[in-house]
Structure 1
Amino acid sequence: MRWRDLAELVRVPAALTVPGDTLAGAAAAGWPCGRRTAALPVASACLYWAGMALNDWADRDLDADERPERPIPSGRVRPDQALAVAGALTTAGLAAAAVAGRRPTAIAAVLAGAVWAYDVVAKPTPFGPVVMASTRFLDVLMGGAGHRAALAPATTVAAHVLAVTLVSRGEVHGTTSDLGRVAVATTAGVGLAAAASGRGAPSTLVTGTALAATFAGTVLPAQLDVVRTPDAATARRATGVGLRGLVPLQAALLAGRGAYRAAAGVLAAVPLARLGARVVSST
């Protein structure tokens, strides 16, 4: 297996949308893990990549018909290799979470279970989008070490991921205008929730609100396109834009808590994610 094939298997650029989850949870909870919080974005990325590899392993027969260019159906990666990668990355993710302490490790274990449950069992069922949203909820909660204060940002991020996942189900055969409208309404609500989550000085509130508006301005146009033209290509584009929209959303949640440096670091991932998506698909 070549490095390029491995990168495509795990959707390397898409993991840039993950580190902000744990940072947002940590900021909301008052950084309960201290400096050890730095290990949690690593845990998140590893578990995300594990889910991508497992996704392709679980969908290998379906992809042979619908997406034959993917690593497994194209013969560039064997199914057993993909499964081994998923297992190794899951282990690495749990090990990284262990650096931050027992509570983040316990949540990481539940998160890993949700990732595997989604890909192996829940994805094709009506519960699939909810299970997927739960993984990002748990990811944010992990950053806050399970503290109650992390529940609000966790719910906000999960709601956005739920909308993106609903639209993503139409990436091959198209979706519906009604689902597009649900996504638009959810994005509007998420943007308002992110803007209202700020605490502290007026400058903090203004910065958080501006970034929340940036999030909505990034995601809404592509979702409105789905309402007008709910075909597969439009759904694919809206899914990619929705994933990248997680970054300004996370930055808004961070800035609203006065974590400006963390917000700036998260935003630095935007051009990198766009550049990476030109080389390796993020969906």
Structure 2
Amino acid sequence: MRSHMGMTHIQTPPKWRTLLILGRASNVPTVWSNCLAGWLIGGMAEYIVLFWLCLGGTLLHIGGMYLNDAFDVGFDRRFRQERPIPAGHIEEKTVWILGSGAISGGFLCLLWGANVSLMIGLLLVASILLYDALHKHVSFSPVIMAACRFFLILAAFDSSGNPWQGSALWTAFAMAAYIVGLTYVARRESTGGGIAIWPCLFIAAPIGLSFLLNNGRFFWMGLMVSLVLLAWVVWCLQFILRSQNVQIFKTVSGLLAGIPLV
């Protein structure tokens, strides 16, 4: 913002910055970590498959975030006028086109590049679109968001072409549980209100599953990672569980950064 001759002018940010904000680009590495996890559990297919998984997952994430803002434009014009569309930094029609194109491109990358089955690909895309359309209207939207990460991991495993394994499903469930708790906390940032303790317990579910499912040499590896994850989660939750100076943003950003540990 700058002032000239008594008049205030608001500078429009560069288009590239607006696109990065819309796509929540800082969260893209968490998508790659999910793709890597599923790819490793599937037996490590060719590296080109991992490339297509990460590219497809990235496009689906960015497209989903674009459509999220497009669906939320009415709400944002009333309550979040700093968002790119109501602020006039980008046209709503452009966001719809870019979001739809990215979703379509990501879907094709998974199907044709990574050999993901049509059913898993459709379930992943359906989860993304369902969340975008409904997350402001239903209380169980954290479950829908969790489904997005659940099917992303399953898609990465499916690219291997190997028979389904319990390890893939349990890993996807662990990630989904973590996302349920994270999304619940994130919703409170925009809707306000107190934060209950019980949804936060979902965040610790991956730690419990690690103890139940890992054995032998994997038990000790899982234990070490679980302790690191536990310490990180406790540190993040301190910002919302203390009685004064609640900082939901710090908790959410920290929990997002912790996704690769899950």
TM-score (normalizing by structure 2)? 0.83
Separation of aligned partners in 2, 1:138 and 1:44? 11
Cα distance between partner residues in 1 of 2:183 and 2:36: 22
Distance 2:56 2:136 in 1: 22
2:141 to 128, 152, 156: 128
* Native 8 Å contact 2:66 2:98 kept in 1: yes
Q: Specify the alignment match of 2:10 in structure 1.
A: none
Following TM superposition, by how much is the alpha carbon of 1:186 offset from its aligned partner in structure 2, in angstroms? 2.1
Aligned-residue offset at 1:196? 4.8
Aligned equivalent of 1:214: 228
Q: Secondary structure at the match of 2:87?
A: coil
User: Root-mean-square deviation (CA), in Å?
Assistant: 2.2
In the other structure, the counterpart of 1:194 is: 210
Letter in 1 for 2:184: L
What is the number of residues matched between the two proteins?
242
- Structure 2 equivalent of residue 176 of structure 1: 194
Tell me the distance in 1 between the aligned counterparts of 2:144 and 2:136.
Answer: 8
Amino acid at match of 1:193: L
Q: Which residue of 2 aligns with 1:162?
A: 180
Partner of 1:227 in structure 2? 241
Q: 1:87 aligns with which of 100, 103, 112?
A: 100
> Could you tell me how far apart the structure 1 residues matched to 2:107 and 2:144 are?
19
* TM-score (normalised: structure 1): 0.78
Instruction: Report if aligned partners of 1:171, 1:235 keep a CA contact under 8 Å in 2.
Output: yes
Larger relative helix fraction? 1
| CA distance, structure 1, for counterparts of residue 127 and residue 34 of structure 2 | 16
Gapped regions of structure 1 (runs ≥ 5): 250-283
Distance in 1 between the 2:115 and 2:120 partners?
A: 10
Q: CA deviation at 1:137?
A: 0.5
Percent identical? 24
Change (3 A) 1:94 1:63: same
Q: With CA pairs under 8 Å and 6+ residues apart, which has the higher RCO, 1 or 2?
A: 1
Give yes or no for the alignment of 1:152 onto 2:166. Answer: no
Letter in structure 2 aligned against 1:156: A
Contact conserved, 2:127 with 2:147, CA < 8 A, in 1? yes
**Structure 1 segment 1-283 matched on structure 2, within 5 A:** 2-31=15-44, 33-35=45-47, 36-97=49-110, 98-103=112-117, 105-145=118-158, 147-149=164-166, 150-178=168-196, 181-194=197-210, 196-198=212-214, 202=217, 204-229=218-243, 234-249=247-262
Cα distance in structure 1, aligned partners of 2:215 and 2:107: 32
Which digits, 9 at most, give the CA deviation of each residue in 1:43-101, with x for residues without a partner? 11111111111111111121123221111111001111111111111112112112111
Gapped regions of structure 2 (runs ≥ 5): 1-13
